[in-house]
Amino acid sequence: MGKKETEKLRIRDIRAKHLDKSIQIEGIIRQTSEIRPQVVSAKFKCNKCGTVLSVLQADKTFMEPQRCSCGKKDKFVLIGRDWIDVQRIIVEELPKTIEKNDLPRQIAVFLKEKLTDPSKERLTRPSSKVKVVGTLVEMPVILDNDAISNRCDLAIVAEDVALLGN
């Protein structure tokens, strides 16, 4: 399999056509969250037949199985979860990349697993200038009535973060 093509972009130039593609941005970290665990997979046991079902946890809400092969549709017993560490940072455009009277744009970047290692902590300090390579993803916008908007926010799931020279 060939190497994935990565497009270098300014944050303000990111558009829908870049969704699910590898992009590279440069900017200043303005905010960081604490590192927190996130469930990526959960195992459930059907209390009717004993089958163990594994459910990938890709959405924001915790998902249970829809049904078992025996036909059972509800009340499964949670028997295990797989966790990873995640951190959210906000990256803002570098001043040198924007026009005089423009406001800097920002984007959320999600760091997972190896990028949350304590040895990488200096990469995520506010005011650090960084280069981020990752995949652009959509973040659903939840409306006041709990419905999902037809508009979404964008974020980057980082594959690599490196400090920029001054």
3 band by pLDDT with thresholds 50, 70 and 90: low
Which domains are assigned to the chain? 6-37+84-163 (2.40.50.140), 39-83 (2.20.28)
pTM, 2 dp: 0.80
The Cα-based distances of 53 to 46, 84, 148 in angstroms read 8, 20, 28
What pLDDT, in 10s, does the model give residues 66-112?
A: 888 888 887 899 999 999 999 999 999 999 888 888 999 999 999 99
- 131: CB partners within 8 A, 6+ apart: 24, 25, 26, 161, 162, 163, 164
